[in-house]
Structure 1
Amino acid sequence: MPPSSTAPPNAEQIRRWRRYLADEIAEGAVYRHLAGRRDGEEREILLELAEAERRHEDHWRALLGEHAANPGKGDLRTRFLGWLARTFGGVFVLALAQRAEARSGYDRDDDATAAMAADERIHAEVVRALAARGRAQISGTFRAAVFGANDGLVSNLALVMGVGAAGVGSSAVLVAGVAGLLSGAMSMAAGEYVSVRSQRELLTASTPDAQTEDHVPALDVDANELALVYRARGLSQDEAEEHATEVIARVAAGTPAPAADRVDTFEEVGTGRRAALSSFAFFASGALIPIVPWLMGMTGAGAVLLAASLVGVALLGTGAVVGLLSGASPLKRALRQLAIGYGAAAITYALGTALGVAV
């Protein structure tokens, strides 16, 4: 409910309330667009969120009265979020929506109700849970892609700067860069494949055998050795015996195992093939950027400065993407990537300068 004060709003209040109203309208539209791309439970949840935003709209409309007409389009972030929702949908939009909900200033504004402030906090958790499903689906491949791109950018920039600083000709720098691209991409792909396959094999070795339940009907119910399984997994003796009895009864009745008891597909780990291909492609793409100036025929300090600039922009981009997907600050993640990449390249350049010998 709006505040009980009958004093007319001042100009600053009207501006702030109209901004809130515009943002609520835009956020509700985002949830409706996302709902239009989904079905089942996710669709219903998103529509419920849109309905909650409509209730918040009503609050600001009541306060604004005659000033509620044409409130505007919301702030730039909310409009960008709306464009992403209409164009792409997906986990990136949900991650941005999570940040938008968490940034709400309603808990610091006396004109917003406590219920509205609580709603925004709860909405952030709802969107976090929805985004977690998408993050799990892409996390393995996404990790390989980000790691590959970042490694390609940093390692090849460091390589060409170090070789260039040693005083060799531009053709030698270009050859070193291309060699670094090819060898690094192959090495990254092989490493990711082995890493992911090994991780999945280790996890599989620790995953309960789904075929074990086939033997449950033949167990001695009085001895109930199935309880030993659950005791080994950390349950107390009483809890293990109770759970084993429930499992025996469920199997006897032909009831499927609950979702939590089924074999995990390790979706968040990804597959070795996808990780290898992703790592190869993104490492090669990242490693290509530092050698672009030499491919264009540039030499000397100009080529080094352009390579560093191009890589800097790419590092900012990869850091921002990581920030967006994780629901963290894109700017902080971008600057972190830039600092790490430039730091590694600067050290290598200094070593090349100190050597000062032809390769």
Structure 2
Amino acid sequence: MNTHPEAERSPQPRPPSSSDLKRWRQYLADERAEADTYRYLAERRDGEERDILLALAEAEGRHEAHWRELLGEEANRRTRASLRNRLLGFLARRFGSVFVLALAQRAEGRSPYAQDPNATSAMAADEQIHEEVVRGLATRGRNRLSGNFRAAVFGANDGLVSNLALVMGIGATGVSSGFILFSGLAGLLAGALSMGAGEYVSVRSQRELLEASRPTQITLAAAKSLDIDANELVLVYRARGMSPEAAEHRAAERMGLYSCDCDPSFSLNPEAAVEGVDEHETVGTGIGAATSSFCFFASGAIIPVLPYIFGLTGLTAVIMSCVLVGLALLITGGVVGLLSGASPLKRGLRQLAIGLGAAGATYLLGMLFGTGVA
């Protein structure tokens, strides 16, 4: 049978365009940078976290090989990684903290591979999984610092907003700049002491509640002496939230009646804390929270007073206070957004709106009851 020669030819792939080659080289450079970032982070860790980070670096190496194959000789042309990845690498080398993991989490979530026809579906799926892996690692770091970090963030924001509101409210009444400065410093000291004491009591109380709520191991010691026919151990496990069937199974295990587990789901350890999470570590310590709250409240509360310390007066001092506090609110909001995996800009703008809104309200009240800015 005669066949047309053209029918026997398989379609030839379109040669890559210059824009394709440029994009692939950028991908290659970014994959190299991401792998390096994970290796830098692994150097600062040990055990399971180190193994996970090295495995992520290895996965990025597989993606790098894909782009190398597509590029061929073009892979030898060096391209700088994106600014974001260069910044991540720099931070990972210098610090290796949860902040870097939070940034890496956002970077993995913005991978373009799902929309790029030259990236395989496996690579796109890898990037999605990488985001969850990094999220898990970042969560460990967030849990370790969340107690004292919470106190620090609340302290700084409270100091910024409350003292700005105090300074603006008093300043709008027309009193002297010296009186405003004295009021701001008094507000700083009073607020810092109040915040520190409040955080200490709050954290201590929360830790005591956790200790009172944590199941003890008394069941292990008392189980063998309990009456089998009137097994009150079942009530212990039902009170902890287990179903009647699971409670009976666990009670029988504790009393040594079962030598094997027929239903593994009944043998989950209800006394154990959630794996990888220590509630006490998440809450923080009383002294640590109090110290963080005091110091950060003071550092925030001093900012609205700075213009008066440097001799500014009247409306100029008020405007400078607003500008300085606004910048500080953007920074603190951005840090919170970064650690939470959200948009730093949105969190910063939210903090700015709340802070300046509260300060503006007190300024209007000061003008209402005073004589205007001195």
TM-score between the two structures when normalised by the length of structure 2? 0.89
Deviation of residue 225 (structure 1)?
Answer: 2.1
- What is the alpha-carbon distance in structure 2 between the residues aligned to residue 5 and residue 290 of structure 1? 68
- Following superposition of structure 1 onto structure 2, how do residues 243-262 of structure 1 map, counting pairs within 5 Å? 243-249=250-256, 261-262=271-272
For 1:60, the equivalent position in structure 2 comes to: 67
Partner of 2:173: 166
- For 1:227, the equivalent position in structure 2 comes to 234
Cα drift, residue 12 of structure 1: 1.4
Q: Which residue of 1 aligns with 2:89?
A: 82
Aligned counterpart for 1:156 among listed residues 163, 166, 186: 163
After superposition, the C-alpha distances for 1:249-297 in whole angstroms (9 at most, x for unaligned) are 4999xxxx98863465521111111111110000000000110111111
* Deviation digits for residues 115-171 of structure 1 (CA, Å, limit 9, x no counterpart): 011000101111111111111111010000000000000111111111111101100
Deviation at 1:224, TM superposition (A): 3.1
Following TM superposition, by how much is the alpha carbon of 1:298 offset from its aligned partner in structure 2, in angstroms?
1.1
Letter in structure 2 aligned against 1:331: L
Residues of 2 paired with 1:189 and 1:230: CA distance?
A: 39
Structure 2 residue ranges without an equivalent (≥5): 1-10, 260-266
Which residue of the partner structure matches residue 346 of structure 1?
A: 360
Matched, 1:117 2:124: yes
Q: Which residue of 1 aligns with 2:336?
A: 322
Provide the rounded CA distance (Å) in 2 between the counterparts of 1:309 and 1:183. Answer: 24
Structure 1 residue 82 displacement after superposition = 0.7
Structure 1 or 2, whichever has the larger Rg, is 2
Residue identity in the other structure for 1:333: R
2:195 to 188, 193, 197: 188
Partner AA of 2:317 in structure 1: A
Alpha-carbon distance between aligned partners in 1 of 2:311 and 2:219, rounded to the nearest angstrom: 65
Q: 1:342 to 1:132 in 2, by over 3 A?
A: same
Matches within 5 A, 1:86-101: 86-101=93-108
2:363 aligned with 1:333, yes or no? no
- Aligned counterpart, 1:207: 214
2:15 is paired with a residue of what secondary structure?
Answer: coil
Q: CA contact under 8 A between 1:316 and 1:335: conserved in structure 2?
A: yes
Matching of residue 37 in structure 1 with residue 53 in structure 2: no
For the 8 Å contact 1:210–1:262, the answer to whether it is kept is no
- Structure 1, 241-250 or 63-72: larger mean CA deviation: 241-250
Does structure 1 residue 102 correspond to structure 2 residue 118?
no
Contact 2:102 2:135 in 1 (8 A): yes
Q: Deviations over 1:301-328 (max 9, x none)?
A: 1111111111111111101110111111
Once residues 248 and 310 of structure 1 are traced to their aligned partners in structure 2, the CA distance between those partners, rounded to angstroms, is 66
Bigger mean CA deviation after superposition, 62-71 or 218-227: 218-227
Q: 1:188 to 1:228 in 2, by over 3 A?
A: same
- In structure 1, the residue matched to 2:319 is 305
TM-score (norm 1): 0.93
Contact kept in structure 2, 1:154 and 1:344, CA below 8 Å: yes
- Asked whether the equivalents of residues 203 and 283 of structure 2 are also in contact (C-alpha less than 8 Å), the reply is yes
Residue identity opposite 1:177 in structure 2: G
Match for 1:59: what amino acid? Answer: H
* Structure-1 residue corresponding to 2:26: 19
Please point out which of 241, 246, 268 is paired with 1:239: 246
Match of 2:282 among 268, 274, 285: 268
**Alignment partner of 1:175 is 2:179:** no
Aligned partners of 2:334 and 2:348 also within 8 Å: yes
**Matched residue of 2:283: which SS?**
coil
